[in-house]
Copies of this chain bind each other. A is one copy, B any other.
Amino acid sequence: MTRNAKQRKTRDDLLSAAGTLLREVGYGGLSTRKVAETAGVPLSQIHYHFGSMQGLLLALLEVENDRLLDRQTAMYESDRPLSEKWVMACRYLHDDLESGYVRVLHEMMYAALSDVEIRHRIQQQLDGWKDLLTSVAQQAIDRYGPIGPFTAGELGILVGQSFLGLETLLLLDAVKASEDGYNAICKIGGLIAEMERRAGDG
């Protein structure tokens, strides 16, 4: 293994360990020592590679969010009907919840409440999600005409914040609420399918 490869491995191990711990013990339960121990690397490597605990978390945030946003973007760029894309998005939600990614991202959002640098990053990434969902909504409006009184931006965000809120419910294991929440979101896919059928291109 070359020097650079080894260096990168240590870096990745630290990022991976931070993600694992974030899922297991949450943001408040994180510590440099636990991360280093979980990664199986010396404590000092955290400061060497990321400068500080915050630096590590910022890097982790970027890695995790890019992963999700890229996948979602690719999915929406495929040329399936929108209703199928919606079903895929619902399935992604389910998968990401099981894998722990949702937990990681939400932990970072809470970290953002008390850390301006993390907040700025989160804001940029939320902008990315808004742009994606808005463009999807715009395509739907272009094809099927206006949807209620909403602009594409409003529609995109309405969808986004519904998913966001549902994620919160699911993370909290609010069973009574989250079941209906997931069903409601899924049924919206049915509404989209109906819209496609009326336009004759389902």
Q: Chain copies in the assembly?
A: 2
A153 within 8 A of B: yes
Which of A42-50, A78-86, A120-128 faces chain B?
A: A120-128
Q: Given the complex, which residues of B lie within 8 Å of A28, measured CB to CB?
A: 27-28, 111, 114
Of the four ranges (under 10, 10 to 19, 20 to 34, 35 or more), the interface on chain A belongs to 35 or more
A181 within 8 A of B: yes
A/B interface sample: 29 pairs, CB < 8 A: A25-B114, A26-B110, A26-B113, A28-B111, A103-B113, A106-B113, A107-B113, A110-B113, A123-B174, A123-B176, A126-B172, A126-B174, A127-B174, A127-B176, A130-B176, A130-B180, A148-B187, A149-B190, A150-B187, A154-B187, A155-B184, A157-B169, A157-B178, A157-B181, A157-B184, A161-B164, A162-B162, A164-B165, A164-B169
